[in-house]
Amino acid sequence: MSQTPRVAIVTGAARGIGAATARRLAAEGHSVGVVDLKEDDAKGTVQEIVNDGGTATAVGADVSDADQVSAAVNTVAEQLGPPTILVNNAGVLRDNLLFKMSEDDWDTVLGVHLRGSFLMSRAVQEHMVNAGWGRIVSLSSSSAQGNRGQVNYSSAKAGLQGFAKTLAVELGKFGVTSNAVAPGFIVTEMTKATAARVGMEFEDFKQAAADRIPVRRSGKPEDIAATIAFLTSEEAGFVSGQVIYVAGGPLD
Ligand code: NAP
């Protein structure tokens, strides 16, 4: 089904899942605001999209800062048009066991994932409501079900599931859907950092994960991008308030 061209914003889109999602949404015919902490870092993804014949713009913003979020959304609206697709993807890890976790580690992770998704969604919803159409996808994680060393991250990712459902309830009457995608093990810089933290070679870490996953492989950023492409499509208008685990199998 061909898509009506829209303007999308993907946060944390300089690399990993965000970059793959930005490329995929551009391939669907959408113009994409590629948001990351530094504008320069976002330019690589923009260049890839442009090389493939798509339209994108790089915007630097910290999603946990209200003024920067507001400025970023205004920039995208001015350069590409009113955004009506939002992917809340920006994320960080500050893993530690509870007794060693600092308040800063807690605040940083909750700030980027939860506050960031809140600020971005609040800033973009006006454009969606005005258009009578919108799609919001927020990145949760299989860690929402609990994961050693990630009390901050699991809390944020579980929180995003309630966040996505509540936006679905509030914004549905304006033609806006909201869902959460919860990836399992996806090969990115984030999982490489986790391997380093637990003192394993990444290849061994990846293999150990693949052995536990029913489809016997680790995930790729494109696996998540494909799910997000569906949830942001025209035909997904009756799918809202859901959490889709994309993990190569059911979770325990
Ligand atoms: P990644 O490779 O670490 O990429 C995350 C991106 O977000 C980076 O470009 C990072 O920029 C950016 N970012 C961090 N803080 C930001 C902020 N305050 N404002 C704007 N951008 C910011 O991570 P990923 O693996 O692709 O993960 C993407 C999302 O999927 C995250 O929400 C993550 O929690 C979730 N997820 C990932 C997995 C997995 O297995 N990889 C599994 C479940 C869920 P810098 O490089 O400058 O820090």
For 138-185, how does the pLDDT look when each residue is reduced to its tens digit (9 = 90+)? Answer: 999 999 999 999 999 999 999 999 999 999 999 999 999 999 999 999
- In this prediction, residues 25-38 reach a mean pLDDT of 98
| E strands in the chain | 7-11, 31-36, 56-60, 85-88, 134-139, 176-183, 243-246
Is residue 92 within 8 A of residue 150, CB to CB? The reply is no
Whether residue 103 is predicted with pLDDT greater than 90 in this model: the reply is yes
| Residue among 11, 37, 143, 202 to mutate when testing ligand 1 (max atoms within 8 A of CB) | 37
Give the mean pLDDT of 187-201: 94
The answer to whether residue 222 scores a pLDDT higher than 60 is yes
Per-residue tokens: 240: 């809202």
Angstrom distance (rounded) from CA 6 to CA 200: 42
For the chain, the domains span: 7-183+221-245, 185-218
Mean pLDDT score of the chain: 97
Asked if pLDDT for residue 252 goes beyond 70, the answer is no
Q: Determine the 3-state secondary structure of 93 from DSSP.
A: coil
Q: What is the pLDDT of residues 207-218, one digit of tens each?
A: 999 999 999 999
Closest atom of ligand 1 to 38 CA is 47
pLDDT for position 150: 97
Residue 57's φ and ψ, nearest 5 degrees, are -135, 145
The average pLDDT across 76-103 equals 98
**Mean pLDDT calculated for residue range 223-244:** 98
- Architecture label for domain 7-183+221-245: 3-Layer(aba) Sandwich (3.40)
Catalytic residues: 153
**Residue in 112, 114, 190 to alter for ligand 1 test, most ligand atoms within 8 A of Cβ:** 190
Q: 42 CA distance to ligand 1 centroid (A)?
A: 13
pLDDT in the model for residue 3: 85
The whole-angstrom separation of Cα 182 and Cα 158 is: 10
Nearest CA to ligand 1 atom 19: 62
H/E segment holding residue 221: helix 221-231
Q: How many residues does the chain have?
A: 252
N- to C-terminal Cα separation, the chain = 35
Question: In testing the pocket of ligand 1, which one of 11, 15, 69 has its CB within 8 Å of the most ligand atoms?
Answer: 15
Ligand 1 center to 70 CA (angstroms): 20
pLDDT in the model for residue 208: 96
**pLDDT for residue 60:** 98
| DSSP reduced 3-state for 209 | helix
> In the chain, what percentage of residues exceed pLDDT 70?
99
Confirm or reject: Cβ of 150 under 6 Å from ligand 1.
no
Give the DSSP per-residue string, 53-115. T--EEEEE--TT-HHHHHHHHHHHHHHH----EEEE-------B-GGG--HHHHHHHHIIIII
Over range 87-110, report the average pLDDT: 98
Instruction: Output the pLDDT for position 1.
Output: 61
pLDDT at 136: 99
Q: How many CB atoms lie under 10 A from the CB of residue 4?
A: 11
Taken in order 172, 57, 93, 181, the sign of the CA dihedral is positive
Please state the rounded mean pLDDT for residues 128-136: 98
Section 85-109 average pLDDT: 98
**Cα-to-centroid distance, 144 and ligand 1 (Å):** 16
146: amino acid identity, one letter: G
The answer to whether 136 and 176 are in contact (CB under 8 A) is: yes
Residue 92 has pLDDT above 90, yes or no: yes
Nearest CA to ligand 1 atom 27: 17
Ligand 1 atom 12, closest CA: 12
- Cα gap 116→103, rounded to integer Å: 18
Residue 27 reports pLDDT greater than 70: yes
pLDDT of the residue at 188: 97
185 Cβ inside 6 Å of ligand 1: yes
Check residue 20 and give its pLDDT.
98
Task: Write down the pTM of the prediction.
Answer: 0.98
Between CA 67 and CA 61 the distance in angstroms is: 9
Cα 80 to Cα 59, 84, 145, 215: the distances in Å are 12, 11, 38, 39
